[in-house]
Structure 1
Amino acid sequence: MDIIKMIIEYDGTHFYGWQRQTKSRSIQGVIERVLSKILKKDIEIDGAGRTDAGVHAYGQVATFGCDLPMPLESLKRAMNNFLPSDVRIVDLDFADADFHARYSAIGKTYVYKIKNSKERDVFLANYSYHYPYDLDDDLIRRAMEKLIGKHDFSSFMASGSSAQNPVRTIHAIDLKRSGNMLEFTFTGDGFLYKMVRLLAAYLLEVGQSRIPLDKTEELLENPTRAYTSKVAPAAGLYLKEVYYN
């Protein structure tokens, strides 16, 4: 049996998240239906992560097993013909027999986009977080530096998480500003439930001087949700890339 690795991009606006659901539209469900139609058998896929409703992806990864009756390029073309306009297969490739989209991953990069202006933009409403307050980018960068490394990120884990271990390593955080558009990039060995959205909201609060900079170290040493109750909206979040050995 062939193991097929897919790289997928999608606009999450009109989906109830990645995970298949009985009555609601999901990315996993849409792709499985298309694959099952093309290959004329029931196909289930495994994703690298379960993005929430409204979250987007440039590089989600998923795998499935099948004795493939056609060339990969033909399958890719057929899938993109049948998939809705808000999902696209970027690449298909054969993977090793023991490869798993989720369990073989060693890291991920997420991007979070913010429209930092007084006036909202209706065309960006589903693709960024409108944040109308003045920000001190230098304060944000100083807080970012304190978050890099291996820490207990319980302060940045939403309730409902199934994670047994809250320790994660953030390898890099970047902030770019182009006019009134801000873009955070977070790269780490893994992220807890809603961790990136909690980090983005926290950094914006620091940049607005609503939370003192020195709270960052305190939150890592003595976890509490007292300063991290805000979760940035799903619309600004993008899964950029998943890493493997």
Structure 2
Amino acid sequence: MATIKLTIEYDGTDYVGWQVQPNGISVQQVVEQALCGVLGEEVRLHSSGRTDAGVHARGMVAHFHTFRQLPESAYREGVNRLLPRDIAVRGVEEVNEDFHARFSARGKWYRYSLYLAPVRSPLAERYSWHLRSRLDEIAMARAAAGFVGCHDFSAFRSSSCEARSTRREVFSVELLREGELLHIDVKGAGFLKNMVRVMVGTLVEIGLGRRPEADVPRLLREGGRPAAGRTAPPQGLCLMEVWY
């Protein structure tokens, strides 16, 4: 039996998220159907994590097992011919049978993009959160440094998050300007549901002067989701890379 690792890129706008769900079409469902068309057998993808409805990915990693022996090009070119234009297999690799896309992962890189301009951009609206107000980016960067390290992120997760432990390690949080776009790059060992989006929502409120920079360490100490900032809209978030 072969274990195949896929790196998948997708625009999540029209999907209910990565994971198969009863209320709509998911990215996982579409990719599994395409794999079935190439392999002639049903397979189950095991991913490095989940993305919510509207969230995008440049580097979602998933693996599956198969008894078929096909060249790697069949899983890339063959599967891509059966996928819609908003999903593509970008990389294929046969890996050891003990590889697991989720449990073997050592870290992830998420990028959240803010579009800062007085007028909305039709080309940017699918991939960023449009804000018309000026942000204090220096205050945001200072506050972002408070997330780095191993902390209890219970204040920065969805109320529906089912994770047993709320402690997570964040390696870095960096702000990067690119014209009218402000990217917030978050790298860490793992993340709770909506964690990055709540972190961004909190940083935006700091940038708008609606809460002090000191709120980040306070929230990490005291917990409590209602005290943190809003959950940033999904379209600004993109899973950039998973490393092993």
TM range (shorter): over 0.9
What's 1:98 paired with?
A: 98
Within 1, Cα distance between the matches of 2:61 and 2:149? 25
> How far 1:162 sits from its partner (Å)?
0.9
1:157 corresponds to which letter in structure 2? R
**Structural mapping, 1:1-245, within 5 Å:** 1-22=1-22, 24-244=24-244
Change (3 A) 1:226 1:74: closer
Q: Secondary structure at the match of 2:161?
A: coil
C-alpha deviations, 1:59-90, integer Å up to 9, x for none? 00000000233211123110111111000001
More moved, 230-239 vs 176-185? 176-185
Q: Secondary structure at the match of 2:101?
A: coil
Q: Secondary structure at the match of 1:35?
A: helix
> How far 1:21 sits from its partner (Å)?
2.6
Within 2, Cα distance between the matches of 1:138 and 1:153? 23
C-alpha deviations, 1:96-121, integer Å up to 9, x for none? 11111111112111000010112111
Within 2, Cα distance between the matches of 1:240 and 1:79? 21
> How far 1:227 sits from its partner (Å)?
3.2
More moved, 217-226 vs 155-164? 217-226
Within 2, Cα distance between the matches of 1:100 and 1:225? 31
CA contact (8 A) 2:45 2:62 kept: yes
- Normalising by structure 2, we get a TM-score of 0.97
C-alpha deviations, 1:102-157, integer Å up to 9, x for none? 11112111000010112111221111000111111110011011111111111101
Within 2, Cα distance between the matches of 1:228 and 1:129? 18
CA contact (8 A) 1:211 1:227 kept: no
More moved, 172-181 vs 7-16? 172-181
Within 2, Cα distance between the matches of 1:22 and 1:158? 20
Within 2, Cα distance between the matches of 1:147 and 1:62? 28
Q: Secondary structure at the match of 1:49?
A: coil
Change (3 A) 1:204 1:229: closer
The aligned length equals 244
CA contact (8 A) 2:159 2:225 kept: no
Q: Secondary structure at the match of 1:7?
A: strand
Within 2, Cα distance between the matches of 1:75 and 1:146? 42
Within 2, Cα distance between the matches of 1:218 and 1:127? 31
C-alpha deviations, 1:162-191, integer Å up to 9, x for none? 111101111011101122210010000101
Q: Secondary structure at the match of 1:14?
A: coil
Change (3 A) 1:231 1:23: closer
Within 1, Cα distance between the matches of 2:135 and 2:2? 51
> How far 1:23 sits from its partner (Å)?
5.3
> How far 1:22 sits from its partner (Å)?
3.9
CA contact (8 A) 2:38 2:74 kept: no
- Normalising by structure 1, we get a TM-score of 0.97
Q: Percent identity?
A: 38
CA contact (8 A) 2:115 2:180 kept: yes
CA contact (8 A) 1:17 1:51 kept: yes
Structure 2 unmatched runs, 5+: none
- Aligned-pair RMSD on alpha carbons? 1.1
